[in-house]
Chain A
Amino acid sequence: MSAALQAQNVSVSLGGNRVLNDVSLALQPGWTVIVGPNGAGKSTLLRGLAGLQPLEAGRVLLRGKPLTAWSVRERAQQIAWLAQQGSATGELTVRQIVQLGRLPKLGLFAEPDARDQALVQLAMVAAECDAWPHRRLHELSGGERQRVLLARALAVDAPLLLLDEPTTHLDPPHQVALVRLFKRLARDRTVVSVLHDVPLALQANRLVVMQAGRIVSEGSVDDPAVHASLTAVFDHAIRIERFGDRFMALPNLD
């Protein structure tokens, strides 16, 4: 089976600095988390996979076809994107913002039909922002805003979700709810997220560990080699322990 999304020998430079160096990665259905220290190139890789970052070298394949061969609208129907620290502004209500997620299907001119409205409602329920559809963005807390922007990404109803730090500003109950949601979505979709929270990252199906613009290891969350590289890239500031059938990251205070 060809990977849903694939990076082949991708390199990216920003301001003269090489931030991604010959990165190759194949993403299959399930929940994959990209982890690594600050400046590892995680967000750049995610943007490159979404077609939002010009590549210096290499290419990205979506369902086996180069990303550049897809029209921007076709691509948007396949890949839902959540930006890091969304810079959303303006006077739109929560529902209007979430409804923007239907733009890839509707374009600028078509009106949403009953199915679109139902998908918008489902996305709002999933992200737990359906209780205040008429509030405006500037009336919301950081965590509430993040849930609205996540609902906007979910409303695209795309088979691939690329989410850059989706748990930012969320309190523990909403982080846990999000992990449950990702696990549910990952049953029939490809969910890729960048996370700084290693304990949350360990709840995913697969981990991609990055450092200095390269992938240093990737594999299942229970792979000891991945654990070793994970602790190494964080300079052994964390240690990973097994609790029943799960893994947990703890601060290494020794």
Chain B
Amino acid sequence: MSEAEHRARRHLAIGLCALTLLLALAGLAAGSEGWSISQTLALLNGPDGSLVVGQIRAPRTLGAWLTGALLGLAGAVAQGLFRNPLADPYLLGSASGAVLGVVLVLAATMLTGHGISLATADTIARIGLVGAAFAGALLGVTLTLALARGAHETTRLLLAGVVVGVLLGAVIDMVTTVAPDALRGKQAFLLGSTGFLGWGSCGLMAAGVAMALPLAWRLSRMLDALTLGEESAMSLGLALPRLRMAMVAALALATGMAVSQAGLIAFVGLVSPHLVRRFAPAAHGFTLVASAATGGVLLLAADVLARSLVAPQELPVGVLTAVLGGGYLLWLLHRRKIS
């Protein structure tokens, strides 16, 4: 590794650590009346301190970082696996599967006369929605794999993901036609939210990161070999179908976990690896870890902004990530055009 490469990696790592700390503090301080360190300190000394900061702001802050980390990791895996810088974590049908799961639970609850919405969901309903979203995400990926007859060919896998997305989208539309009350819940899920993240969600997502990141990192040399093309990677003695399946498992786990906890959050998975490659281009081992950390920082920043830009109102965090991520990609496109 050259000295310049080493320096770029060090700078990125330091930058990401500093931003995480800074944004975590902002996340703890951001309330319905904007940011205020003094108010937060006063709140901590008061009777509601442990509830507001300890049970609401702290898990939300950590949860936002973990959701972003899962999406950033999944984005880097997807872009490496498909050898396409525009690949995003939702390519394999996990997003449409998760939405279908949520819509089915909402529709079933409403049709049986027990109306719930994301905003008023109680703990049981929330667990039901999270479970349904996770099961739906896994179902979407499983359908994609079945349609592609395994993970033998990347193009087939990609096409199967598109087909599953379209088919499940049609089923979602049919369900919401029969049970139109589920539309609101679906809309809220599509916008994404970090507002419901508690310690339970944090625990689940931390477990997701702990499983998906080491698995993807251990297999990162396969992604390096894939940069040569599939034929050349196979000629290097790699059992590509088996390894690709393991990578798809890591991708599905990370995406399913993130989507089930926070809904569909756009662009974090797509943009994080781009940012890492821009500041510290490197082999996939580093890119995967750094993309996870970058995703965490991006979503944490979006969450803090969503809470404070129009306080006491709150913006949907998915809208902010779409605006920021889309803006970054537009800028990237413009820059390339000029160069």
Is A bound to B? Answer: yes
Chain A residues near B (Cβ < 8 Å): 47, 50, 52, 72-77, 79-83, 86-93, 96-97, 100-101, 103-104, 107-109, 134, 136, 149, 152, 156
Check B231 against A81 for contact (C-beta < 8 Å).
yes
8 further interface pairs, Cβ-Cβ under 8 Å (given A101-B236, A108-B222): A73-B237, A74-B237, A81-B232, A81-B235, A83-B235, A100-B221, A107-B237, A152-B228
Of the candidates B228, B231, B236, B282, the one whose C-beta lies within 8 Å of that of A91 is B282
**Complex Cα spacing A72 to B236, Å:** 8
With A72-B238, A86-B232, A134-B2 in contact, do A100 and B224 touch (Cβ < 8 Å)? Answer: yes
Rounded to whole angstroms, the CA-CA distance of A80 and B227 in the bound complex is 17
B 271-301 to A, binary, CB cutoff 8 A, 1 in contact else 0: 0000001000111000100000000000000
Are the C-beta atoms of B231 and A75 separated by less than 8 Å?
Answer: no
* Count of chain B residues with a beta carbon within 8 Å of a chain A beta carbon: 27
| Contact call B222/A88, Cβ cutoff below 8 A | no
CB distance B224 to A134 under 8 Å?
no
Q: Which residue of B lies closest to A80 (CB)?
A: B235
Chain B residues positioned under 8 Å from A79 (CB to CB)? 235
10 A-B pairs whose Cβ atoms sit less than 8 Å apart in the complex: A72-B234, A72-B237, A79-B235, A88-B232, A96-B283, A97-B227, A100-B221, A103-B238, A108-B222, A109-B218
Chain B interface (Cβ < 8 Å from any Cβ of A): 2, 4-5, 83, 218-219, 221-222, 224-225, 227-229, 231-232, 234-239, 243, 277, 281-283, 287
CB distance from B234 to the nearest CB of A (A): 6
Contacts of A52 in B (CB 8 A): 231, 234-235
Q: Are B235 and A87 in contact (CB under 8 A)?
A: no
Question: Given A91-B277, A91-B281, A109-B218, does the pair A104, B237 have CB atoms closer than 8 Å?
Answer: yes
- A103 and B228 within 8 A (CB): no
Residues A97 and B228 in contact, CB atoms below 8 Å apart: yes
A residues in contact with B237, CB < 8 Å: 72-77, 103-104, 107
Q: Report A-chain residues with C-beta under 8 Å of the C-beta of B5.
A: 93, 134
Q: A103 to B236, Cβ gap below 8 A? A: yes
Chain A residues contacting B239 (CB-CB under 8 Å) are: 72
CB neighbours (8 Å) of A81 from chain B are 231-232, 235
Q: Pick the residue among A74, A91, A101, A104 that contacts B283 (CB under 8 A).
A: A91
Known: A47-B231, A72-B234, A75-B237. A103 touches B221 (CB 8 A): yes
CA distance A92 to B223 in the complex (A): 11
Instruction: Report chain B residues within 8 Å CB of A104.
Output: 236-237
- Taking the nearest CB of chain A, how far is it from the CB of B80, in angstroms? 8
Taken together as a complex, chains A and B put the C-alpha atoms of A83 and B227 apart, in Å, by 13
A residues less than 8 Å from B232 (CB atoms): 81-83, 86, 88, 149, 152
> Least Cβ distance of A89 to chain B in Å?
6
Assess the B281–A108 pair: CB atoms within 8 A: no
Whole-angstrom distance between the Cβ of B275 and the nearest chain A Cβ: 13
Are A108 and B238 closer than 8 Å at their CB atoms? yes
Q: CA–CA, A74 to B229, complex, Å?
A: 20
Asked if A88 and B228 make an inter-chain contact with CB atoms under 8 angstroms apart, the answer reads yes
A236 CB to closest chain B CB, in angstroms? Answer: 35
CA gap between A76 and B243 in the complex, in Å: 16
Q: Which residues of B contact A82 (CB under 8 A)?
A: 232
CA distance A50 to B236 in the complex (A): 11
Which residue of B has the minimal Cβ distance to A96?
B283
Taking a contact as CB atoms under 8 Å apart, the answer to whether B83 and A92 are in contact is: no
Chain A residue with the shortest CB-CB distance to B226: A90
A98 to chain B, nearest CB (A): 11
Q: Which residue from chain A places its CB closest to the CB of B220 in the assembled complex?
A: A108
Point out the residues of chain B lying under 8 angstroms from A103, CB to CB: 221, 225, 236-238
Question: A-B pairs with the 3 shortest C-beta distances?
Answer: A76-B237, A90-B227, A81-B235
Decide if A92 touches B283 in the complex (CB within 8 Å): yes
Known contacts A103-B236, A134-B2, A108 near B228 by CB under 8 Å: no
Most buried by A among B5, B219, B238: B238
What A residues does B4 contact at CB under 8 A?
A: 134
